[in-house]
Amino acid sequence: MFSGYLNVAARCSACGLEYAGFDAGDGPAVFVILIVGAVVAGGALFLEFTVHPPYWVHAIIWLPLIVILSIGLLRLAKALLLVLQYKHQAREGRLAD
């Protein structure tokens, strides 16, 4: 499905389905921001109210986690939205029959 980390291939290597009509847009980034933000904010608040660590400890814990989760979930979210577009035959500029 992908020709690079986030670049969508021109067509499927197994069945030849063209991916030109599919576009996830900014949807994957929005979902990843919301999910990672909720996890990190919840974790940071829990850690702050239970242990009271200094700010540098928060930076050491949460900054790498933000990067790892964001990079890890972005490709999965993009693939999920592209598959959902295919499953529901969603195309730009077309109303449901």
Q: What does 8-59 look like in DSSP terms, one character per residue?
A: BPSB-TTT--B-TT---TTHHHHHHHHHHHHHHHHHHHHHHHHT---HHHHH
Output the pLDDT for position 88: 87
Domain-located, residue 17? no
Beta bridge partners of 2: 8
Output the pLDDT for position 95: 65
CA angle centred on 35, ends 53 and 94, rounded to 5° = 165
Average model confidence (pLDDT) across the chain: 91
Output the pLDDT for position 66: 97
Domain-located, residue 83? yes
Residues in the chain with pLDDT < 50?
A: none
For residue 39, the enclosing domain spans 27-87
Domain-located, residue 51? yes
Output the pLDDT for position 24: 87
Domain-located, residue 66? yes
User: What's the domain count of the chain?
Assistant: 1
Domain-located, residue 34? yes
Spatial contact of 49 and 59, defined as CB atoms under 8 Å apart: no
Output the pLDDT for position 96: 61
Domain-located, residue 44? yes
The whole-angstrom separation of Cα 39 and Cα 41 is 6
Spatial contact of 27 and 73, defined as CB atoms under 8 Å apart: no
Domain-located, residue 9? no
Output the pLDDT for position 1: 86
Output the pLDDT for position 19: 85
